[in-house]
Amino acid sequence: MRNRIREKLERGEVSIGSWLNLGSPLAAEVVVSVGFDWLAVDAEHSPIGISQVAQMFRAIESRGATPIVRVWDHQPETIGRVMDAGAFGIVAPHVSTAEQAAQIAQACRYPPQGKRSSGTGRAVTWGSDYRSWINDEVVVIPQIEDREGIENAEAIVAVEGVDIGFLGPGDLSLDLGIPAGSPDHEDAIQQFLAACKRVGKPCGIPVSSAEELLERQAQGFVFFDLSNDLRFLQVEAERQLRKAQG
């Protein structure tokens, strides 16, 4: 299985995925069926256990998309478990230093490139040669969400084994103590983008709409989380109800 994120970015194209917060394999299958490159199971903010993660990966894979996951902490054991469940990418939230990023990157790959432990999990059903190619396919994505992370952004994304820099604009606004969308908030976003460009690594950001995606693409972002299953359901349900009510 090739990682569609890598394929798109290596060709200089934009990669668009979405987030999964409902914890439903069926919701994952519905969302992925429209043609997203990848879906990320949000195990940080949703009550999703490791068994559900594996089931959602199956749904994503069934339509040829790439399964990734946002983990709930940086521990190598956590990362190892979701990798063994079949993840092809790890989004690590709240990365503020290059040292944290290096530990995460090491946990995602087998020696000699990393320190991932070898075990028998769902991932080995990809074949007896799984360990020979997964190091080159997995994408390591630190998510920067605070002032310290912005200050260290260049060092973080420059870490060997980090593949994509990813921003967390919501928590960034909370940490900075300023409204999302304010001039100072946007300045921090642009600082992050500039850091990724200086290092030559792809830069990603969550967006809530196609219009916002196109605006960020014009700025130089190339990796996009376009909304999530919960919001897709909520927004469309609200729209249809309001329309029915006149």
Percent of the chain exceeding pLDDT 70 equals 100
Query: Which two structure tokens, joined as six digits, stand for 44?
Result: 């940080």
Rg, Å, the chain Cα set: 18
Residue 11 has a pLDDT of: 97
Residues known to be catalytic: 45
Residue 203 has a pLDDT of: 98
> Which amino acid would we find at residue 236?
E
Mean pLDDT value of segment 89-97? 98
Question: How far is Cα 177 from Cα 62, in angstroms, rounded to an integer?
Answer: 42
pTM tops 0.95: yes
Q: Is the pLDDT of residue 20 over 90?
A: yes
* Architecture, CATH, for domain 4-245: Alpha-Beta Barrel (3.20)
User: 129 near 78, Cβ under 8 Å?
Assistant: no
pLDDT band at residue 35 under the 50/70/90 scheme: very high
Residue 209 has a pLDDT of: 97
With helix as H, strand as E and coil as C, how does 118-164 read?
CCCCHHHHHCCCHHHHHHHHCEEEEEECCHHHHHCHHHHHCCCCCCC
The pLDDT mean for the chain works out to 97
pLDDT band at residue 91 under the 50/70/90 scheme: very high
Query: Which two structure tokens, joined as six digits, stand for 69?
Result: 């996951």
User: 229 near 40, Cβ under 8 Å?
Assistant: no
Give per-residue pLDDT as tens, 95-134: 999 999 999 999 999 999 999 999 899 999 999 999 999 9
Give per-residue pLDDT as tens, 217-246: 999 999 999 999 999 999 999 999 999 998
Residue 31 has a pLDDT of: 97
Q: Which long-range contacts (CB under 8 A, 24 or more apart) does 57-63 make?
A: 57/85, 57/86, 57/87, 57/122, 58/25, 58/86, 59/25, 59/26, 59/28, 59/29, 59/32, 60/28, 60/29, 60/32, 61/1, 61/86, 62/29, 62/32, 63/29, 63/32, 63/33
Question: How far is Cα 240 from Cα 246, in angstroms, rounded to an integer?
Answer: 10
Residue 201 has a pLDDT of: 98
> Which amino acid would we find at residue 79?
I
Q: Which residues pair with 15 in a beta bridge?
A: 223
Give per-residue pLDDT as tens, 158-177: 999 999 999 999 999 999 99
Residue 1 has a pLDDT of: 77
